[in-house]
Amino acid sequence: MSDADIISAMRRKAGVGRPPPDVQPMSPAKALRLAAAKAAEDSIGLVMQVTHVAEERSSILRLPEQLPDDALLSLLEGPDNAYGLAVFDRNVISAVVEQQTTGKVLKLPPEERAPTATDAVMCAEITDHILSLFETNVAEVADPPHVEGFRVAAHLREARSISIAFDDVPYRVYRLSVSLGRGVREGEILLVFPYARATPKPVPGAPNNFGRDFQAVVMTSEARLDTVLHRIRMPLADVMSLEAGMVLSIPRSAVSKVELRADDRLVSRAQLGQINGKRAVRLIFMTEDDDPLDASYGPDEGGFGDMGALSGGSAVPALSNGMGDVPPMGDFPAMGDMGDMDGMSDMGDLTPLGAFPAMGDMGGNMAGDMGDLPDLGHFPAMGDLPSLE
Domain boundary assignment for the chain: 25-194, 223-370
Q: Between 3.40.1550.10, 3.40.630.10, 3.40.50.620, 2.40.30.10, what CATH number should domain 25-194 receive? A: 3.40.1550.10
Distances (CA, A) of 219 to 213, 214, 215, 338: 10, 9, 6, 38
Q: Is the pLDDT of residue 366 over 50?
A: no
Please give the model's pTM, rounded to 2 decimal places: 0.50
pLDDT tens figures, 18-77 = 666 566 788 999 999 999 999 999 999 999 999 999 999 999 888 888 899 899 999 999
Fold of 223-370: Surface presentation of antigens (SPOA) (2.30.330)
pLDDT tens figures, 127-167 = 999 999 999 999 999 889 989 999 999 999 988 888 888 88
Categorize the per-residue pLDDT at 8 as very low, low, confident or very high, splitting at 50, 70 and 90.
Answer: low
Q: Give the pLDDT score at 372.
A: 42
Q: In what order do the strands lie in the sheet with 83-88?
A: 48-58, 171-180, 185-194, 83-88, 72-77, 151-156
Categorize the per-residue pLDDT at 255 as very low, low, confident or very high, splitting at 50, 70 and 90.
Answer: confident
Q: In what order do the strands lie in the sheet with 278-284?
A: 226-228, 258-262, 265-275, 278-284
Question: What does the angle CA 196 – CA 202 – CA 207 come to, to the nearest 5 degrees?
Answer: 140
Q: Give the pLDDT score at 286.
A: 67
Kindly state the DSSP code that residue 328 receives in the 8-state scheme: P
Cα–Cα distance, 28 to 53 (Å, whole number): 9
pLDDT tens figures, 171-196 = 999 999 999 998 899 999 999 999 98
What is the overall mean pLDDT for the chain?
75
